Chain A
Amino acid sequence: QVHLVQSGAEVRKPGSSVKVSCQTSGGAFATYAIVWVRQAPGQGLQYLGGIIPVFGTVDYAQTFQGRVTITADRSTNTAYLELSSLRSEDSALYYCAWQSGYSSDWSQRSGYFQHWGQGTLVTVSS
C-alpha cells in the first residue's frame, strides 16, 4: 500500500520561499509520479506540477512557471516542492499525490491521483 507523509506546517513572510517535502513508501510502480496540488482556505483544488522521479522529468503549470521548483531524492523516496516569491494568496494547504504510469512523457500518463499525502499548511503573513 502506498503511503505519503508530508512535512509540517510552515509560516513565511511575503517575498520569501518555502520548501515542502513528501516521502513515499510502498507501491509497485517504479515509474510513479508525485504531483503537487494546493487548496486555499474554503476553495477548490489547483494543480501546481509534478515529477517522475525515475526519469527526472518535471511538469509545471504555466500559472506557477518561474516560481515553482519540484525535485526528488530517489535515495530517500522523497519529493520536494519549493515555491518562491510568496504572497498572501499562496496561503493554502499543499498536498502531494501519487500517480501511477509508465511513460516519461507527461502527456502520455494517466493523470489521476490514487494516493494523497495528509497536506502541509503554508501560511504567508507579514
Chain B
Amino acid sequence: DIQMTQSPSSLSASVGDRVTITCQARLDISNYLSWYQQKPGEAPKLLISDASNLETGVTSRFIGSGSGTHFTLTINGLRAEDVATYYCQQYDSLPYTFGQGTKLEIK
C-alpha cells in the first residue's frame, strides 16, 4: 500500500491568511492525487482531482499543486467556513489510500 503523509496534523490560522497543507507519497504517484474537505458531522467533499484540477463549484481560493511524491493544497484568503479537516488521497494504485488528515481551525 502507498503511504500518504500529511503535514501539519493541525493548524490554526486567522481569517484572511494563506494556508498551505502538504501531502507526501512514499512512492511516485504522478498526479493521481485528490483533496477532500470534511466539515464536522458531514461526509467528505471532493475539492481537487489530478493534483490541481478544481472541481466544479469549488471556490478558486483552493489551489492544488505538485506531482510525483510532493503535493500541496493552498487556501487563499482563509474564511471561517473553511474550518474542516482536509485529506489527500492517492489513486495511482490500489488500494486507494488517504493521508491522516489536517485539521484546520480559525484563531
List A residues at the B interface (Cβ < 8 Å).
Answer: 35, 37, 44-47, 49, 59, 61-63, 95, 97, 106-107, 110-114, 116-119
CA distance A106 to B94 in the complex (A): 8
Which of the listed residues B32, B49, B96, B101 has the most CB atoms from chain A within 10 Å of its own CB? B96
Q: Interface residue count for B (Cβ, 8 Å)?
A: 23
Residues of A within 8 A of B36 (CB): 45, 113
Query: Does the CB pair B43–A110 fall under 8 Å?
Result: no
Which of the listed residues B36, B91, B101 has the most CB atoms from chain A within 10 Å of its own CB? B91
CA distance A85 to B41 in the complex (A): 28
Residues of B within 8 A of A118 (CB): 43
Query: Does the CB pair A116–B43 fall under 8 Å?
Result: yes
- Kindly count the residue-residue contacts between A and B in the assembled complex, taking CB atoms under 8 Å apart: 59
Query: Does the CB pair A47–B98 fall under 8 Å?
Result: yes
Q: Contact mask B76-94 → A, CB, 8 Å, 1/0?
A: 0000000000010101011
CA distance A57 to B87 in the complex (A): 27
CA distance A62 to B89 in the complex (A): 17
Residues of A within 8 A of B93 (CB): 107
CB distance from B58 to the nearest CB of A (A): 11
CA distance A28 to B101 in the complex (A): 31
